[in-house]
Amino acid sequence: MTDPDLAVIVLAAGQGTRMKSATPKVLHMLAGVPLIGHVLATAGELAPAFVVAVVRHDRDRVAASITELLPEAIIVDQDEIPGTGRAVEVALAALPAGFTGDVVVVSGDVPLLNAATIQSLIAAHREREAAATILSAHVDDATGYGRIVRTGAGDLDRIVEQKDAADSELAITEINSGTYVFGIAELRAQLGYINTNNASGEKYLTDVVELLRTSGATVRAVPVSESWIVNGVNDRVQLAESARRLNSMIVRGWQLAGVTVLDPDTTWIDLQATIGEDVEILPGTSITGPTIIQRGAKIGPDTSLDTCEIGEGATVRRTDATLAVIGAGASVGPFAYLRAGTYLGDNGKIGTFVETKNSRIGNGSKVPHLSYIGDTTVGVESNVGAGTITANYDGVNKSATVIGSHVRSGSHNVFVAPVRIGDGAYTGAGTVVRKDVPAGALAINVAPQRNMTGWVETNRAGTAAAKAAAESAGETD
């Protein structure tokens, strides 16, 4: 149900200088979702009548991402006047004049804030009929945050930014989270009065607090229950802290849903992943993108799965896989590299030191050892010998190899594509297959072996090999 009296403003115009990055801060990723995506999801959960997102730095990239993540968001451009106060001012101008409800302001760089916390802030705001209600937090290290200055009686006096704070104010450990609820009329009335007379030369949104209070309005700061909820991301250290925090919540969620995670500290799971019951995840595993793992599969250790589908009961050990589909009961690794477009059928095998790309390996077929399989189809129940290379690239074009069903290819083969191996065919060890092999045929093209007896005795006289050969000959005499 939409709350017709609620609008959310998401601030995302800042540069994010402290990230030192070519990527705008709000597009940095956390559990597979950009920072701004977490905030927009929370904004959406509040079911407001309007979501307004303010952009400026790297405007087109940020705006495109916002539109993709929350198509109904209204995107507003901040002008050259800097500061969170100015950002809110331009956002308000985009709301219909007839809107008279409450405005929630959130920052695009506070990703762990959840809808329930904002809901209770809104409830507290409405209950007191306040003009502004600020979400604050008690923290161990307040460095960088605006400080909540209270009167002797404990009422909110004003917010002072780090750069503008006196030493006594810097000692305050209650900080402004950057999340607020305002009555729109009161906010509009005061925003026009804020100026840029401060250490940053910006219009601070936080200055409306003191203005509202002196106008006699009710203005309160309500501390959040746990301060990590409002952790801001301003640099890479804070990004990693928030990532670790969110990841431990995601891992815990899957554990409670029936997934065994042996080592939560070294297991990383993106928000979009789906994992079935009785899946077992071993240490050093990362599961990214919209990866799906069916029940009973065993993943890891030391495995990365990006946008993969893993079938029921499959085993994937020490593997790097992207855009791969693994059938039920199949076995992958250890030490396999599955590139985009790999499809392994049910009960199939991609074994040790095998690289695959754009290939379909049918049900029950196996590529067990030391191979490269690219642009290839393998039928069902075939065995590709150890050390096989599909030579799919002639330096200009890529070509396909087609291996039928129930094929037994020898060790150390090269399939020079384009080439087809018929159903039930065999190839000898060391064969370089340049021509199609008909169904049921045996292909061999290595030269016949010639043994030159006594060669070592003649050509390597006096060596350990010659001695060993002589002794061995003696034994058999």
Contact residues: Ca ion, CB under 5 A: 109, 232, 234
Taking the CA atoms of residue 150, residue 156, residue 158 and residue 161 in that order, the dihedral angle to the nearest 10 degrees is 70
Closest CA to 404 of 428, 421, 416: 421
**CB 39, min distance to Ca ion, A:** 12
Alpha helices in 372-437 (DSSP H): none
Rounded (to 5) percent helix, strand, coil in the chain: 25, 30, 45
Residue, CB closest to ligand UD1:
146
Is position 87 an interface residue for ligand UD1 (rule: CB under 6 A)?
A: yes
* Strand ranges in 346-427 using DSSP code E only, listed in sequence order: 349-357, 359-361, 366-374, 376-378, 389-391, 401-403, 414-416, 419-421, 426-427
The b-or-e profile of 183-200 (16+ CB within 10 A means b, else e) is: bbebbbbbbeebeeebee
159 binds, among ligand UD1, Ca ion, none (CB under 5 to 8 A by kind): ligand UD1
416 strand-pairing partners = 391
Out of 159, 239, 261, 326, the residue judged to bind ligand UD1 by CB under 6 A: 159
Strands 401-403 and 376-378: parallel
Q: Which is nearer to ligand UD1, 14 or 422 (CB)?
A: 14
Q: Rounded to an integer, what distance in angstroms lies between the CA atom of residue 85 and that of residue 194? A: 8
Of 138, 369, 406, 412, the catalytic one is 369
Q: Which is nearer to ligand UD1, 110 or 330 (CB)?
A: 110
Is position 109 an interface residue for ligand UD1 (rule: CB under 6 A)?
A: yes
Output the CA–CA distances (angstroms, integers) from residue 97 to 53, 92, 220, 236, in the order listed. 18, 9, 26, 40
Site for ligand UD1 in 63-82 (CB under 6 A): 78, 82
- Binding pattern to ligand UD1, positions 404-433, x when CB under 6 A? ------------------------------
Out of 178, 183, 313, 422, the residue judged to bind ligand UD1 by CB under 6 A: 178
- Amino acid sitting at position 324: A
User: By rule CB under 6 A, what count of residues binds ligand UD1?
Assistant: 28
Strands 102-107 and 174-183: antiparallel
**CB 159, min distance to Ca ion, A:** 14
Is position 33 an interface residue for ligand UD1 (rule: CB under 6 A)?
A: no
Q: Which is nearer to ligand UD1, 159 or 314 (CB)?
A: 159
Q: Which is nearer to Ca ion, 106 or 221 (CB)?
A: 106
Is position 92 an interface residue for ligand UD1 (rule: CB under 6 A)?
A: no
DSSP letters for 292-322? EE-TT-EE-SS-EEES-EE-TT-EE-SEEEE
Out of 177, 304, 371, 388, the residue judged to bind ligand UD1 by CB under 6 A: 177
Q: Is-catalytic flag, 125?
A: no
Q: Which is nearer to Ca ion, 165 or 350 (CB)?
A: 165
Q: How many residues does the chain have?
A: 477
Is position 12 an interface residue for ligand UD1 (rule: CB under 6 A)?
A: yes
Out of 8, 9, 14, 112, the residue judged to bind ligand UD1 by CB under 6 A: 14
Is 369 exposed, middle or buried, given 0-12, 13-18 or 19+ CB atoms closer than 10 A?
middle
Out of 8, 52, 54, 323, the residue judged to bind ligand UD1 by CB under 6 A: 54
Stretch in the footprint of ligand UD1 (CB under 6 A) among 84-92, 112-120, 258-266, 332-340: 84-92
Q: Which is nearer to ligand UD1, 108 or 300 (CB)?
A: 108
Closest CA to 303 of 324, 289, 317: 317
**In the block, residue with structure tokens 């209204």:** 74
Is position 37 an interface residue for ligand UD1 (rule: CB under 6 A)?
A: no
Q: Which helix (H) or strand (E) holds 187?
A: helix 184-191
Q: Which is nearer to ligand UD1, 175 or 269 (CB)?
A: 175
**CB 75, min distance to ligand UD1, A:** 12
Site for ligand UD1 in 241-260 (CB under 6 A): none
Query: What SS3 class is residue 178?
Result: strand
Is 315 exposed, middle or buried, given 0-12, 13-18 or 19+ CB atoms closer than 10 A?
buried
**CB 180, min distance to ligand UD1, A:** 9
- The single-letter DSSP state of residue 398 is B
Out of 65, 107, 307, 409, the residue judged to bind ligand UD1 by CB under 6 A: 107
Which residues are known catalytic residues? Answer: 369
Q: Given the rule CB under 6 A, which residues bind ligand UD1? A: 11-14, 54, 78, 82-84, 86-87, 107-110, 145-146, 159, 161, 175-178, 204-206, 232, 234
